[in-house]
Every structure is written in C-alpha cells, then in structure tokens.
Amino acid sequence: MNPIESLDYTKLIEEIKYKTARSGGSGGQHVNKVETKVTAKLNIKISSVLTSDQKEILLEKLKNQISKKDNLVLHQETDRSQLKNKEKVTKKLIDLVKKALKQPKKRKKTRPSKASKEKDKKSKKVRSDVKSRRKKPRVSDW
C-alpha cells in the first residue's frame, strides 16, 4: 500500500503545535506589538496518525530538518497577518510530509536506438579526425 494514500491529513493537522513570536521586517511600529511569526512543530515519533513505516521514512528523508527531540519544525513570517502565516506554514509542512512519503517511480531500462549508436560513431570519427590533424606529420609518412 502506498504510504501517502493511507494518511489522513486533517488529523495530522490537529497534531501540529503552533507558537507565535514577533516578526522582523517591514511594518513599522506595528511589528513591535504584534506576534505574526508562526512556528509549526510536529513530533513525528509520538504522532498517532503516522504508521511506524511512515515515521521511519520521514525520520530518514527529513533528518536534516528534524530536531533531536524528533520534531519537524518550520517557520513562516512573510506576511503581516498571523492567520496567513499559520495557513502557509501548515501547507508547507503538509507538502513536505507528502513529498517525503511519495515513492519515486522505478526507472525502466532502455537500450540506445540504432540511430543514436550511428550518431555516436559518427561524432567519434569526426573528433578522431580533428585530433589526428593536430599531430605533427611523421617522417615515414613522406
């Protein structure tokens, strides 16, 4: 079964913990009063929505973004609205989980076509001729 299909994202969103902080950037004095930066935290190990296989996959593929306490942490502070930042960071986190759980397609082995083999041969011959013309002529060739 595909690990991405068996996941209920609405329940996963309920497990995300949010924290707000004051955000830098434009906004004048307004930024000094309002906490618009949103940090989303999802603990992968204690998640009840994720299966053990899914947890293993996420811990392996996202190991550079997961803290020592097995939290997947993302920040968002681009907008001046806390609600917009919360929506964006939630979407970003869900997309990251989906991408990590998506299984890559298997490569189909193919052979080079006859035309491509001929083309390679011709280009090698041309290259060989170019290089042979660079050499000094030998005395025995006279």
In a domain, 92, yes or no: yes
pLDDT at 93: 93
In a domain, 110, yes or no: no
34 in any annotated domain: yes
In a domain, 115, yes or no: no
Best CA proximity match to 62, nearest among 88, 92, 13, 97: 97
pLDDT on residue 33: 79
Q: Which residues pair with 37 in a beta bridge?
A: 21
Residue 43 lies in a domain: yes
CATH number at residue 97: 3.30.160.20
By residue range, what is the domain housing residue 49? 9-101
Res 135: pLDDT: 87
- Residue of higher predicted confidence among 3 and 77: 77
Give the separation between CA 42 and CA 54, rounded to whole angstroms: 14
Which one-letter amino acid corresponds to residue 78? Answer: T
pLDDT at site 7: 76
Reported as a single tens digit per residue, the pLDDT across 9-28 is: 888 899 999 999 987 766 66
Q: According to the model, what pLDDT value does residue 108 have? A: 92
Give domain status of residue 28, yes or no: yes
What number of CA atoms fall less than 13 Å from residue 44's CA on the CB side? 27
Q: How many domains would you assign to the chain? A: 1
